Structure 1
């Protein structure tokens, strides 16, 4: 169950005849904004790390893993040209905190590039989040979106959590599976989607 923050909005395409969407959810004539954080991110948990390694668009830099985790991830790390640094679980506890469920692996990655509305596939269902700030809730929403075959998730640039390790762990790999668009103004983005023939449903 998601915490009772602003409810998500589910959208569905009702026509395939679409005109181009202004980038970033902005009106025509406004300069689009593509968001990409330059900082590195630490991902942990087997599903989150497996999905990140399998995502060719995700920059990966270094990995620490226990013997068991390194063995499980071997084909993926080899394909990405990574050699896991073998560590004991306590070493990861010290880095991430004793209460973190890291499952014996820590992957250092670059951030994902935020897409624009124009780059999302409007042929199916999109999930739109309005000021959902808890990373666990956004992660759960991404997990559900992936399970139901959603074509993407739309969220605001502000009043949304960073796409960090906590969110990725909660998403159980879906962070690297579901395309995400971050927009400046959600009301304008929803209006743009409506102009493209997208049916908008508020929950």
Structure 2
């Protein structure tokens, strides 16, 4: 079974609360005596998780960075849903997916996971190649959302979008030159938002696989937004329309899991 390191108080606390059995041990900077360290120590004791005090240099070697906040966990990768199709078929409400085409910055992916968690996205989809995966930095920035939002790295993104269409999901991409404005389109059907990479936007085949392209209205001098900001705006409008139509907010249900 695959293992990895995650670091940062939010990421590790979230994993402890939701999946304590997936943590092999936690390494904590012996010099940290503050409240966050005490709270984490108490939670580890409560969940019978092994906690090891060590020097900060060891944490830096384990993570390859100095930005670990003094805490690192050796964890087992969480069991993934068998397929994206299984997840969609197990939903009891209209699907809401977030698709990122070639996002390479782990901070942007982590922020997108946080946004996805906040607005009840059922899964986040990325291509396997030329895109960042669930690294330790992504876990830290996501502040626990990497453990709550199902994550799929697919071999062929354009083909996956076509398969989602066959499942009845409307594919909406964002583009500055799109003819339709965000708040003028209906977003209450089963939906997958597709956002492009930093700077380059969606690739041609990804764009051609979309059913509809929309633009985010902007009044200032800035021509484009950070991908996580764009995701937040699009998902907020989707959530607003869903609430207006049904009187309830989208939440992440528990679909079928892989056995």
Tell me the TM-score normalised to structure 2 length: 0.56
Alpha-carbon RMSD across the aligned residues, in angstroms, is 2.4
Alignment equivalent of 2:104, drawn from 110, 133, 143: 133
1:94 deviates by 5.2
In structure 2, the residue matched to 1:41 is 4
In structure 2, the residue matched to 1:193 is 164
1:194 deviates by 1.0
In structure 2, the residue matched to 1:180 is 151
In structure 1, the residue matched to 2:86 is 119
Given that residues 114 and 182 in structure 1 are in contact (C-alpha distance below 8 angstroms), is that contact kept between their aligned partners in structure 2? no
Residue 82 of structure 1 aligns to a residue whose secondary structure is coil
* Aligned-partner Cα distance in 2 for 1:57–1:120: 23
Residue 54 of structure 1 aligns to a residue whose secondary structure is helix
Cα offsets for 1:102-130 (capped at 9, x unmatched): 22211001223443212324523110111
1:64 deviates by 1.1
Larger Rg: 2
Given that residues 154 and 160 in structure 2 are in contact (C-alpha distance below 8 angstroms), is that contact kept between their aligned partners in structure 1? yes
Alignment equivalent of 2:13, drawn from 17, 40, 50: 50
Alignment equivalent of 2:24, drawn from 42, 61, 78: 61
In structure 1, the residue matched to 2:73 is 107
Aligned residues: 165
* Aligned-partner Cα distance in 1 for 2:42–2:149: 23
1:154 aligns with 2:125: yes
* Aligned-partner Cα distance in 1 for 2:166–2:4: 36
Given that residues 41 and 110 in structure 1 are in contact (C-alpha distance below 8 angstroms), is that contact kept between their aligned partners in structure 2? yes
* Aligned-partner Cα distance in 2 for 1:162–1:126: 17
1:71 aligns with 2:38: yes
In structure 1, the residue matched to 2:59 is 92
Matches within 5 A, 1:13-24: none
Q: Choose between structure 1 and 2 for higher RCO, CA contacts under 8 A separated by at least 6 residues.
A: 1
Unaligned runs of 5+ in 2: 175-259
Residue 126 of structure 2 aligns to a residue whose secondary structure is strand
1:82 aligns with 2:49: yes
Unaligned runs of 5+ in 1: 1-37
Given that residues 57 and 112 in structure 1 are in contact (C-alpha distance below 8 angstroms), is that contact kept between their aligned partners in structure 2? no
Residue 197 of structure 1 aligns to a residue whose secondary structure is coil
Given that residues 58 and 111 in structure 1 are in contact (C-alpha distance below 8 angstroms), is that contact kept between their aligned partners in structure 2? no
In structure 2, the residue matched to 1:23 is none
Residue 101 of structure 2 aligns to a residue whose secondary structure is coil
1:164 deviates by 1.8
Residue 120 of structure 1 aligns to a residue whose secondary structure is helix
Alignment equivalent of 1:166, drawn from 128, 137, 145: 137
Cα offsets for 1:148-167 (capped at 9, x unmatched): 22111111222232312111
Tell me the TM-score normalised to structure 1 length: 0.70
* Aligned-partner Cα distance in 1 for 2:125–2:53: 38
